[in-house]
Amino acid sequence: MSWVRSPLAAPQAKSLPGNLIPCDPPPVTAYPPERPTDDLWLTPYHPIPYLSGGHAQTMLGNFWRRPPLAAQPESESVVVDAADNSRVLCHCHWQRDPLTGDLLADRLTLLLVHGLEGSSDSGYVRGITALALRAGCSVIRMNMRNCGGTDDWTPTLYHSARSDDAGAVLHHFQQKYTLTRIAMIGYSMGGNLVLKLAGELAEKTPEWLIAAATVSPVTDLAESADALHEPANRAYERHFLVRLIERFRRKAQLFPEHYSLAGLPPIRSIRDFDDAIVAPHNGFTSADDYYFRASSARCVQTIRIPTLILNALDDPFIRMRADTRETLLANPAVRLFETPRGGHCAFLARRQSNANFHRHWAEKTVTDFVLSADRARQTNGS
């Protein structure tokens, strides 16, 4: 059993096993051994050999075919802000009694939150949904404001500080169906929202919210936004900018009393967009103010539910500050796993002969983690 230590890990956290990177093959624990846990959820990550860099993983991970999601969802709108009647669209897959058709409220329910310019139909959302349904869970595929074809559902814009929206969705469905156990899973921007909400709830976390898991979360927005503007990442930045600006044009057409394209400065980067559009329309003084207030790094020290963070060190544009990493490692509720390879939200695995093989390793790992947390909760009688 051997380890490779993260070159980005904080020096003062050196004695913690949690900031070590598993080699190939890796061990199945990466957290201080005194933390009681069911570690059967963690399987080794073996990246596809010919995908030699983070860019290859990132690009192919977005397009690699997944089996079609056969289960048809029930669509429901959820009011997330009563002041302006802002709503989000959720696609729900409920486990029901085969005889009566009654919703089984005692099944674990997963809330899935997508990333920037994604939707409830993003590939990783559908992939986790299929795994969760097979495991007997119910699933809520949440769209952020404006996403999933809902630009006309709210006069507001979506952004990385809207963790309250995820909280509103959780409370809506928990109260409507008296759900007994819910876990959150978020990718990239959605991962930041999940971590931010878990940290904000802190000691007031409801008993029914049992776990959180994230993949490539944007814990430090300023550093990651600036990384997108690096020459090697301009293709990603352009991908996001084209879609964000087009969405803002639609919002200006739908709500001309709120938004106008007139007088906008040149927008050549994500930081420019956040400074010119996101900040002034959402109560922030600047992009830097927005990044500071929206970054989950500010509150991860108060997370109290079992939480998993998967991060690849070759992610092209996610940057985690050393002090954020140190804070995560110091929190006994958090398990931070960093792999040398995996790209952004990809983690494509090479084919294995064992029954646990899954091409999209991260999707299986976060699903298995929350299932394990659910088993532990029930075993402990909480």
158-192 confidence digits (pLDDT tens): 999 999 999 999 999 999 999 999 999 999 999 99
Average of per-residue pLDDT values in the chain: 89
Give tens-digit pLDDT for 253-312: 999 999 999 999 999 999 999 999 999 999 999 999 999 999 999 999 999 999 999 999
The residue that leads in pLDDT, 298 or 69, is: 298
Residue 371: is its pLDDT beyond 60? Answer: yes
Mean pLDDT value of segment 214-228: 98
The string of pLDDT tens digits covering residues 89-100 is 999 999 999 999
Q: Region 84-110: what's the mean pLDDT?
A: 97
Q: Which residue has the higher pLDDT, 354 or 245?
A: 245
Task: Look at residue 64 in the predicted model and tell me its pLDDT.
Answer: 87
Higher pLDDT, 285 or 23: 285
Contacts of 191 (CB under 8 A, 6+ apart): 113, 115, 214, 215, 216, 217, 218, 219, 309
Tokens of 230: 């690096």
pLDDT > 60? residue 58: yes
Sequence-distant (6+) residues with CB within 8 A of 7 are 313
361 exposed, middle or buried (CB, 10 Å; 0-12, 13-18, 19+)?
Answer: buried
Given a cut of 80, whether residue 202 has pLDDT beyond it is yes
Mean pLDDT of 119-141: 96
Gap between the Cα atoms of 300 and 183, Å rounded: 17
Distance CA 20, CA 202 (A): 26
pLDDT in tens, 145-155: 999 999 999 99
Average pLDDT over residues 44-54: 89
pLDDT > 90? residue 137: yes
CA distance 18 to 36: 14
What totals of helices (H) and strands (E) does the chain contain, helices first? 11, 10
320-330 pLDDT, tens digit per residue, is 999 999 999 99
Superfamily of domain 3-220+301-379: Alpha/Beta hydrolase fold, catalytic domain (3.40.50.1820)
pLDDT(55) > 50 = yes
Note the pLDDT of residue 70. Answer: 82
Question: What percent of the chain has a predicted confidence (pLDDT) above 90?
Answer: 80
pLDDT tens string 232-241: 999 999 999 9
In the chain, where the domains are located: 3-220+301-379, 221-294
Separation CA 84–CA 68 (nearest Å): 37
What DSSP assignment string belongs to 280-339?
HHTT-SSHHHHHHHH-GGGTGGG--S-EEEEEETT-SS----HHHHHHHHH-TTEEEEEE
pLDDT of the residue at 285 = 98
Closest-CA residue to 336 (of 219, 182, 206): 219
Residue 10: pLDDT above 90?
A: no
Distance CA(295)–CA(293), nearest Å, equals 6
Other beta carbons within 10 angstroms of residue 380's beta carbon come to 8
Mean pLDDT score, 204-212: 97
